[in-house]
Structure 1
Amino acid sequence: MTSVWSDPVGLPIGESGAVVTVGTFDGVHRGHHDVLARLVALATATKRPSVVVTFEPHPLEVVRPADAPPLLTLHDEKLEMFAQCGVSYVAVLPFTPILASYEAEQFVDAVLIERFRVVELLVGHDHGFGRGRLGDIDVLQALGASRGFGVTVLPPVHAADGQAISSTAIRSAILKGDLPTAAAGLGRPYSLAGTVIRGDQRGRLIGYPTLNLLPPPLRKLLPPDGVYAVRVQTPQGPFGGMLNLGPRPTFGDASRRIETHVFDATHDWYGAPIRLDLIARIRDTQAYSGIEALRAQLALDEAAARQTLQGLATATSAEPLS
């Protein structure tokens, strides 16, 4: 079971030390999963705890706020992903101006050695740390050699097109509405989570009732406005559905909404936590001449979404067991 510690000074690491990795891990994508799997395997083999050291908020929000990227995974989403990977501990360091000012040597001594008793450190090939990220792999390996801990530098994991999987590339795909590419990098569909709230019941009046979600925090990355095929993860299990993300120009409503019509379900989910797994983009947002024209388009959207979801289910069921 994974334990989360916001006060790493009290982390119960024994005299034998720990196997550690460090990073922001936004998205916890396939490249991150490779690091985490190797971390857990090495920790198990050496009978030591595995420790993920991560930061809140994202370091760029402190050092260069204008360059801070929107987040693929909010804090709680990231912790959930870590727990699924089977690490022993997740230590969340508050990223402050003081921590940002640490030189590479100071970060290694005060954080990795003093707090976490690092014996083996696993990092990605492009890892940088310390003030201005001046502590590159060469610096880290030299510090490991002089301080007596091992440093393993892991190669990138590549996508089908040969490009290294990265949070930046996944963000780019999502911003283009290219959800299959994003899912290939993440190893799962990109998702939005929230609590169901009451809407204005317009969908119900035209035969397409919807679940309305509270909007996520502004730091969460959203794809372009439009209609999407989604899998709706509910307390009663998963259902197919279609999501309208954005305004409702047919009704003169310019506010950005998250409304999902759930297929083949009639449950009352008000107040319930829901997760939307975004599978594919169907079309852009557009205005229609009236209710009947909108209803006709929604019927086409539903058919397209069902076909997409059926194709996904068929492809998944055809995959060989590993």
Structure 2
Amino acid sequence: MTSVWSDPAGLPIGDSGAVITVGTFDGVHRGHHDVLARLVALAAETDRPSLVVTFEPHPLEVVRPSAAPPLLTLHVEKLEMFAQCGVAYVAVLPFTPTLALYEAEQFVDAVLLERFRVAELLVGHDHGFGRGRLGDIDVLKALGASRGFGVTVLPPVHDADGRAISSTAIRTAILLGDLQTAAAGLGRPYSLAGTVIRGDQRGRLIGYPTLNLQPPPTRKLLPPDGVYAVRVQTPQGPFGGMLNLGPRPTFGDASRRIETHVFDATHDWYGAPIRLDLIARLRDTRSFTGIDALRAQLVLDEAAARDTLQRLATAASAGPLS
């Protein structure tokens, strides 16, 4: 079980030190999973605890807010994924203007050594740290040699086209509505999570009742408005569904909503936590001439969503060698 510590001084790390990796880990994508798997393995080999040191908020929100990217994973989502990777501890450092001014040597001495007793450090090939990210891999290796801790630099993980997997590339795919490419980089479907709230129940009147999800924090990246095939993860298990993300122009409603019609389920989920796994984008949002035209389109959307979910489920069960 992963333990999350907001007071890093209280981490139960013995004299032998810890095996550590450091980063923002937005998305916790396949490249990050490779780092975390190697972290856990090295910790087991050396009989030391594994520790992820991460930051909240994203450093760019402090250093250069105008350049801060929208987030693939909110803080709580990121912690859940760390737990699934089997790391022993996660230390969350508040990223403050003071921390942003730490030189590379100061960060290593005051944070990694004094507070966390680093014995082995694993980092990605493009890791940068300290003020202005001037602490590159060469600086880190030199500091490790002089301070007595090991530094392992891990190569990138590549996609099927040979490109290095990165949070930036995944964000670009999501912004284009290319959920298959995003899922390939993440190692899972991109998702939205929240609590079910009451809507205006218009969907019931046309035969397509919906779950209305509380809007996520504004820092969470949303794909383009449109209709999507989704898997709905509920307290009663997973269901297929179709999501309308965006306005409802047929009803003159310009507000951006997250409304999902769940297939083959009638449970009352008001107030329940729900996660939407976005599988495929089906079409743009558009206005219809009336309720009958909208209902006719929803029939087509449902058929397309069911077909997409079934086809992808069949392909996944067949395995990579089919």
TM-score normalized by the length of structure 2: 0.99
- C-alpha distance in 2, partners of 1:320/1:166? 23
Provide the C-alpha distance between the structure 2 equivalents of 1:292 and 1:90, rounded to a whole number of angstroms: 53
Moved more, 20-29 or 309-318: 309-318
Report deviation, 1:10.
1.0
Aligned to 1:217: 217
- Stretches of structure 1 lacking an aligned partner (at least 5 in a row): none
The CA deviation at 1:65 is 0.3
Separation of aligned partners in 1, 2:174 and 2:39 = 29
Q: State the one-letter code of the partner of 2:52.
A: V
Whether 1:149 aligns to 2:112 is no
Distance in 1 between residues matched to 2:156 and 2:311, nearest whole Å: 30
Query: Where does residue 276 of structure 1 map in the other structure?
Result: 276
> What are the equivalent positions in structure 2 for 1:283-322 lying under 5 Å apart?
283-319=283-319
Q: What residue number does 1:14 align with?
A: 14
- The alpha carbon displacement at 1:3 in A equals 0.2
Equivalence map 1:130-209=2 (5 Å): 130-209=130-209
Q: Residue type matched to 2:60 in 1?
A: L
% identity of equivalent residues: 89
Matched, 1:237 2:230: no
Secondary structure in 2 aligned to 1:298? helix
Q: Report the Cα distance in structure 2 between the residues aligned to 1:161 and 1:194, rounded to whole angstroms.
A: 34
Which of structure 1's runs of 4+ aligned residues deviate more than 2 A? none
How many residues align structurally? 321
Instruction: Report the CA distance shift for 1:164/1:320 in structure 2 as closer, same or farther (over 3 A).
Output: closer
The unaligned stretches of length 5 or more in structure 2 are none
- Measured after TM superposition, the shift of residue 281 of structure 1 is 0.1
Distance 2:238 2:312 in 1: 14
The C-alpha deviation readout for 1:153-212, integer Å capped at 9, x for no partner, is: 000000011110000000000000000000000000000001001100100000000000
Shift of 1:77: 0.1
- The SS at the match of 1:21 is strand
TM-score (norm 1): 0.99
Offset of 1:320 from its aligned partner?
Answer: 6.1
Q: Distance in 2 between matches of 1:320 and 1:287?
A: 40
Aligned with 1:111: secondary structure? helix
Aligned mates of 2:169, 2:4 — CA distance in 1: 28
Output the amino acid matched with 1:168. Answer: T
Q: What one-letter code is carried by the residue in structure 1 that aligns with 2:192?
A: L
Q: Deviations over 1:123-166 (max 9, x none)?
A: 00000000000000000000000000000000000001111000
How far, CA to CA, are the matches of 1:268 and 1:73 in structure 2? 27
RMSD between superposed Cα atoms in Å: 0.7
What is the alpha-carbon distance in structure 1 between the residues aligned to residue 120 and residue 182 of structure 2? Answer: 31
Distance 1:319 1:195 in 2: 34
User: C-alpha distance in 1, partners of 2:27/2:73?
Assistant: 5
CA distance in 1, matches of 2:44, 2:102: 31
> CA offset at residue 284 of structure 1?
0.2
Matches within 5 A, 1:13-52: 13-52=13-52
Cα distance, 1:291 vs structure 2: 0.3
